[in-house]
Amino acid sequence: MKKRKCEIDVVTYTTMVHGFGVAGEVKRSKRVFDAMVKEGLIPSVATYNALIQVLCKKDSVHNALLVFEEMVGKGCVPNLTTYNVVIRGLCHSGEMEKALEFMKRMEEEHGCRPSVQTYNVVIRYYCDEGELEKGLELFEKMGNGTCLPSLDTYNILISAMFVRKKSEDLVVAGKLLMEMVGRGFLPRKFTFNRVLNGLVLMGNREFASEILRMQSRCGRVLRHMKL
């Protein structure tokens, strides 16, 4: 493009940063970013987001955080996408406490409220690490605030309640199932039957019967189950 005297703008550079990153060419992606700055162009939020995502996925979250701090230092305000990318990267690296710090920081420093996707990522990683209580604690905070749980949030938590094979966890799964229906979500038949089977196997037939009645009211096709 330069040979033809075509001007390379911020959008073009951003596309190249992202494209090289997707191809796994982290160094070339960073070189394009540096060349852009050298040309006197100011990276946009989208440009920073593209590079941060590349570093989180293909390099290291530490380097991504360096770019994040550079971004903030130069007066470029991070948006929800920026924070979600960083938080996901931190969770993937096992830095859960730092991820929570960023959830707090995004609201206090930049007035950017965590979205349902933000919460779902952190809850999922807590559950994957076996930290169910912390996942539930974050879920409670979510329900008490301005960001209500989604269908995915409930599915993540309900699935996690089967990992430890504890009767109390399955009771929580049943309560989550009833709550999600109460909030207008229609669970899959598989979810209903999984919770029902779990409760029956753990000897909690009374609660299973209650969920079976609720399933009938929801209009889901029942499979024959002897309680």
Which of residues 115, 132, 160 is at a domain's end? 160
Q: Which of 11, 48, 17, 47 is nearest to 30 (CA)?
A: 17
Quote the pTM value: 0.89
Residue 221 pLDDT: 43
Angle at CA 64, nearest 5°, toward 140 and 58? Answer: 100
Instruction: Let me know: does 182 contact 148? Beta carbons within 8 Å.
Output: no
Does 65 lie in the same domain as 86? no
Place of tokens 């005297």: 5
Which of residues 50, 76, 102 is at a domain's end? 76
Does 84 lie in the same domain as 68? no
Residue 157 pLDDT: 97
Q: How many separate domains does the chain show?
A: 3
Residue 220 pLDDT: 55
Does 155 lie in the same domain as 83? yes
Does 181 lie in the same domain as 209? yes
For the chain, what's the residue count? 227
Does 33 lie in the same domain as 98? no
Does 155 lie in the same domain as 86? yes
Angle at CA 49, nearest 5°, toward 43 and 54? Answer: 110
Residue 212: give the domain boundaries: 167-227
Kindly give the residue spans of alpha helices, DSSP state H, lying in 111-150.
116-128, 132-144
For 93-202, list the strands marked E by DSSP. Answer: none
Find the CATH number of the domain harbouring 103: 1.25.40.10
Residue 7 pLDDT: 73
Does 212 lie in the same domain as 181? yes
Residue 216 pLDDT: 78
Does 102 lie in the same domain as 53? no
Residue 218 pLDDT: 72
Radius of gyration for the chain, computed over Cα atoms and rounded to the nearest angstrom: 23
Q: What is the pLDDT along the chain (227 residues), one digit of tens a residue?
A: 455 455 789 999 999 999 999 999 999 999 999 999 999 999 999 999 999 999 999 999 999 999 999 999 999 999 999 999 999 999 999 999 999 999 999 999 999 999 999 999 999 999 999 999 999 999 999 977 779 999 999 999 999 999 998 999 999 999 999 999 999 998 998 999 999 999 999 999 999 999 988 887 776 544 444 44
Instruction: Let me know: does 178 contact 215? Beta carbons within 8 Å.
Output: no
Residue 97: exposure state from Cβ atoms within 10 A (0-12, 13-18, ≥19): exposed
Which of residues 145, 160, 175 is at a domain's end? 160
Does 122 lie in the same domain as 83? yes
